[in-house]
Amino acid sequence: MAEFTMELNDEQKEVRDWLHGFAADVIRPAAAEWDEREETPWPVIQEAAKVGIYSLDFYAQQYFDPTGLGIPMAMEELFWGDAGIALSIVGTGLAAVGVLANGTEEQIGTWIPQMYGDANDVKVAAFCSSEPDAGSDVASMRTRAVYDEAKDEWVINGTKTWATNGGIAGVHVVVAVVDPELGSKGHASFIVPPGTPGLSQGQKFKKHGIRASHTAEVVLENVRVPGSCLLGGKEKLDERLARAKASGGERVRNAAMATFEASRPAVGAMAVGTARAAYEVALDYARTREQFGRPIIDNQGVAFQLADMRTQIDAARLLVWRASWMAVNGRPFTAAEGSMSKLFASETAKRVTAQAIQILGGNGYTREYPVERMHRDSAIYTIFEGTSEIQRLVIARTLSGMPIR
Residues taking part in catalysis: 385
Backbone angles phi, psi at 261, to 5 degrees: -60, -40
Backbone angles phi, psi at 27, to 5 degrees: -75, -55
Pairing of strands 171-177, 125-128: parallel
The pairs formed by 128-135 with CB atoms below 8 angstroms and a separation of 24 or more are 128/160, 128/163, 128/166, 128/172, 128/173, 128/174, 128/175, 128/218, 129/160, 129/175, 129/256, 129/259, 130/160, 130/161, 130/162, 130/163, 131/158, 131/159, 131/160, 131/161, 132/159, 132/161, 135/162
Angle of CA points 204, 49, 16, to nearest 5°: 105
Cα gap 174→188, rounded to integer Å: 8
Q: Angle, nearest 10°, between helix axes 28-37 and 42-51? A: 150
Cα gap 95→382, rounded to integer Å: 20
Cα gap 160→95, rounded to integer Å: 14
Question: What are the residues whose beta carbons fall under 8 Å from the beta carbon of 352, sequence distance 6 or more?
Answer: 275, 278, 279, 309, 312, 313, 378
The amino acid sitting at 196 is T
